[in-house]
Amino acid sequence: MSKSFFLEFPACLILMMVISFACSEPEKTPDSDQSDPPNILWLVTEDMGPYLPAFGDSTIATPNLSRLASEGVVYPNMFSPSGVCAPSRAAIATGMYPSSIGANHMRTGSYTEVTGLPAYEAIPPPEVKMFSEILRMHGYYCTNNSKEDYQFKAPVTAWDESGNFAHWRNRNPDQPFFSIFNFTVTHESGLFEPYGFRRNEMRHYQAGDTTFALSNWMDRMSEDETPVHVSPDLEFPRPPYLPDTETVRRDLWKVYNNIAEMDRQVGAILSQLEEDGLLDNTIIFFYADHGGPLPRQKRLIYDSGLNAPMIIRFPDRRRAGSVDEQLLSFVDFAPTILSLAGISPPGHLQGRAFLGQYPAPEQRKYIHAAADRFDGFTDAIRAVRDHRFKYIRNYRPEQGYYLPITYREQIPSMQELLTLKEQGNLTEEEALWFRESKPEEELFDCEQDPYELVNLAGISDYEEKMKELRSEMDRWLKEIGDRPNLPESELVRDLWNGKNSQPVTANPVITQDNGNIMLTCDTEGASIGYKIWQNGSEPDSWSVYSEPFHGEGQLKVVAHRIGFVPSDVITDVTP
C-alpha cells in the first residue's frame, strides 16, 4: 500500500455497507489462536452520533472512516451509559457503570460553589484498576493522546505516556501496544461562535513533530483560516426537535464540516500506522465518546445522546464490510480489550467481553444509562433499552427536562431555541424538551420513533413491555448498587466512608533483602508505581509493581488507589 492510502482514498469509491451480520453466539475473534498479543489502536472522537456514510448518513464523504468500515465491522448499537464525556470515560476506563462508583455527576471536581460540596473523585471498589494498567502488567506499552477526564485522577501506573505527544513509536522494539488518540474537533464547543477549529489540530502527531508548539487548547482560528470540507449550501438532515432556521442550518454545517476534518486527522494516524508496517497486525477501534453535540443530544438519555458509532478493523480483515447489530455498552470495552489481549477479564467487571479469547457466554439483551448532575444542575433519570424499546424512569417528575447549562447555551442553535420559546413560536416537537414537568415513566419505540417523541407509557398494548423493562431496571439498580436521587452530599459521605475529607493512600513501604526489592502499601486496592535508574536521567514512565524485583541505583515509589489522594513519593537508594 502507498503511504497515502488512508488520506487519499477517493470518495467515489466509498463502499456502503451491504452485509448485515449479527452473531447468534459470541465468537472467539480474532487473535485467539495467536501466540503474540495484538497491537490495539483506539481512535476516539467527541460528541458525535452516527453521522457517517457507514451508518447510513451520506450527507458528507468521510473517505478514511468509510475505508476503515469497508475493511472492518460496523457496530450501530453501541451505547454510552451517560450522554456526556466524563462519566462515559469512567465506564470505559474501569468497566464499571458510573452510577455504581460515584462517577455519575458531571463534574465531581467542579461547581463546588453551586453545589456546596467539596471536590471529590469517584471511588470504585478496591479490586478495580484501569484496564490500561492491567495491560501494562502483561507487557503492553500503553499511551493516551491526550484527554483523560475519568472523574478521578489516573494513577501514574495507568499509562506509559499520557500527553500531547504520547505515541506507540516510543515503545521498545517489538513490544505490543495499546494506544489512544482523541480527536477534539467534533466537540460541542466546535459549534460556538465565532466558528473556527481549535488551534490544537493534533499536528504534533500528524507530522510526528515533537517540536510543535501547542497553543491554548481553547484558542481558535478565524473562520477564514478554517478549512471548508463541506459546502454550507448543502442540505443537512435536521431532527424535528430543532427549528428550520438559518442559525440551525449553520450549526448543522459546522457539525458535518468538523466531522470531515476529524476524518482527515484519523487518516493521518492510520497513515502513520501503515508507514510503520503495523496496519495488518493491529486491531483498530474507532468510536465516539457518546452521542451528538447539538441541543437535545449531548447530556440527554435519548439515543441522540447515548448512541455512538463504532467501527472495528481486524488485522486479517475478518468479517470485512459487515454490520454487527448486537447491543453493546461502554462498560464492555474494558473486558473486551483484555480478552483480545489474551487476558481473562476480572470477575468484578460489570461489562462483558464481546470479542477475543474470553467472550461472554451470551450477548446483551439490554443496555442501561443514567443522567444526574450536569455542571450546576441536577436531575435523576434512569433508562433501559432493548433492541427496539427504551424505558425511562424520571425520579424528579416535578422538574422539567431542560437544564439551563451555561456551557450549552453558547451554541447558537440553543440560543435560537430559547428565543423562539420566549416568543411562543416553537413547534410541538421543539417544545417537548421545555415542558415544566415530565411523566414518571416513558416508553419509546426507537425503531418507529427514532427521535423519541411519542411516549407509549400507559397504552395497554405496551403494558407487557413496560413490565419487562421495569423489572430489568429494578434488577440492574440493585445489582450495581445504584440509588437514584441519592443526594450528592450523601454520595460523597459514602465514598469517603463517613469522613469529612478525601481518603489518602498510605505511603508505600520499601523492603530490601539480598538485592530483592519488595514494595507494599497498607491501603487496600492501591496500585504501586516505581522508577529505578543508575547514572543517568530519571525514567519518564512509572513501572507497575507486581512482584519483587532486583535492581540497583536511585529508587522512587508512589502508591495510589483510584479516588484517593496519592501517597507521598518515597525515595531510596538500592545497594
Catalytic residues: 85
Q: Which whole-number Å values give the CA distances from 544 to 171, 381, 538, 569, in the listed order? A: 16, 39, 16, 14
Give the dihedral sign, CA 249/252/257/260. Answer: negative
Residues 62, 348: Cα–Cα separation, whole Å? 39
Residues 531, 483: Cα–Cα separation, whole Å? 41
CB within 8 Å of 51: residues ≥ 6 apart:
57, 59, 255, 256, 259, 292, 309
Residues 532, 572: Cα–Cα separation, whole Å? 10
Residues in the chain: 575
How would DSSP label each residue in 502-551?
A: --BPPPPEEEEETTEEEEE-SSTT-EEEEEEESSSPPPSSPEEP-S-EE-
Question: Which residue type does 555 have?
Answer: L
Of the candidates 268, 275, 281, which has an alpha carbon nearest to the alpha carbon of residue 174? Answer: 281
Other CB atoms closer than 10 Å to residue 4's CB: what's the count?
11
Question: Which residue type does 28 have?
Answer: K
CA 376 to chain centre: 22
How would DSSP label each residue in 236-273?
A: ----TTS--SHHHHHHHHHHHHHHHHHHHHHHHHHHHH
End-to-end CA distance of the chain: 52
Residues 339, 358: Cα–Cα separation, whole Å? 5
Q: Read off the C-alpha cell for 432.
A: 417537548
